[in-house]
Amino acid sequence: MEVNCNKEDLLYGVQIVNRAVSNKNTLPVLGGILLEAKNNSLIFRATDLEFAIECFVNVDVVEEGTVVLPGRYFTEMVKRLPTGLISIKSNNNFGAEIKYEQSELNINGFDPEEFPSFPETGAGFPGSIDQDLFKDMIRQVSVAASSDETRPVFTGILMELLGTDVILVATDTHRLTLHRGIWKGDLIEEKSTMIIPAKTMVEIARIISDEPEPLFIMPGKNQIHFKAGNISVISRLIDGQYPNYRYVIPEKDNFKTKIRVRTKKLLETTERAALLARDDTKEKANLIRLKAEQEQLIINSNSPEIGKIYEEINIHLEGEPIEIVFNSKYLLDALKVVDAEDIYIELISALSPGIIRNVESEEYIYLILPVRTV
């Protein structure tokens, strides 16, 4: 293999795929980035077997071929190369010779035969979703995914496609996020449901565009393939039954209290209150108490050893006054990702799930469960 390319293209490719480089030592070749020169492009690929990222850039291919170079060293090296033309040529013992300016370096690699092939997935859904939208959806939904590996389904994000709907759902059982996005193109006639590891989804959000460019989705049996321009991500799917989330989202009519509040105001207050809500017992429930009455929201928290806080903010209250206790982390997460100037907090009772959402839309909801204090 031999290619000539410029530093920016090389760095772009390496940085896109480098997050999929495995940092476990079980299979050394997975610590590498595969470079394949073919039809005037250079393909970059990395995988940790959980997910794989592939991307390509156009280069001048002198000789087609493949080389696998150690991901970490290669990435760090490319970052430090001078701007300008760079030539990469494989040598006979799986390594590569990299030339730039008047210099050259040699880096040892792995046998490309050992590198896992990119799994094939079936034909995609007809149509696409805008990348900028999908990016926001992932960012807003993934906060609620669990990191508890003992219940794998909750470490994933549920994706449902039907008609013109793309729904993402995540929950760690204490809160649940749901975002409904729009599928562009033909209607998806048969409902398709899959659980994708939240970690992969976060990586997808990182590498896709901030523009409304199309993202194509190709489901496979055990994998799913996302394609955004010159980038492909293939992820393992999580096997298992996702609980029926519709069941736990309260009906609109059930809400008894509706609080309209300025997000920034409540976020700042909650951040202060959270500081004084450290709980050193094992439960790690950092409790803050909200009390809505008339046009006031009273926020309280206290930590016997540190101190206590009392704040009042102006709200618009519809319905019944209420007093409810939340884990401050869950409330903070909601306020940070909701992306709205004003939000509604809709509540039923002190012991029922509540919903936080943008006053202007219902595409995204953040369902939060209170803390029972007797």
Site for other proteins, rule CB under 8 A: 171, 173-176, 243, 247-248, 279, 281-283, 285, 287, 325, 327, 351, 353, 367, 369-374
Cβ distance to other proteins smaller for residue 4 or 352:
352
Cβ distance to other proteins smaller for residue 142 or 200:
142
Cβ distance to other proteins smaller for residue 247 or 304:
247
Minimum CB separation of residue 243 from other proteins in Å reads 5
Instruction: Count CA within 13 A, CB hemisphere, residue 66.
Output: 16
The Cα–Cα gap between 23 and 30 comes to: 8
141 membership: H or E segment, kind and range: helix 131-142
Minimum CB separation of residue 326 from other proteins in Å reads 9
Amino acid residing at 357: R
Minimum CB separation of residue 57 from other proteins in Å reads 45
Query: Mapping DSSP to helix (H, G, I), strand (E, B) and coil, where does residue 316 land?
Result: strand
The Cα–Cα gap between 249 and 283 comes to: 25
Cβ distance to other proteins smaller for residue 40 or 373:
373
Minimum CB separation of residue 315 from other proteins in Å reads 24
The Cα–Cα gap between 81 and 71 comes to: 15
Minimum CB separation of residue 167 from other proteins in Å reads 17
Helices (H), 143-291: 198-207, 263-275
Minimum CB separation of residue 367 from other proteins in Å reads 8
The residue among 199, 142, 233, 201 whose CA lies nearest residue 23 is 199
The Cα–Cα gap between 22 and 137 comes to: 26
The Cα–Cα gap between 370 and 350 comes to: 7
Cβ distance to other proteins smaller for residue 234 or 277:
277
Cβ distance to other proteins smaller for residue 187 or 248:
248
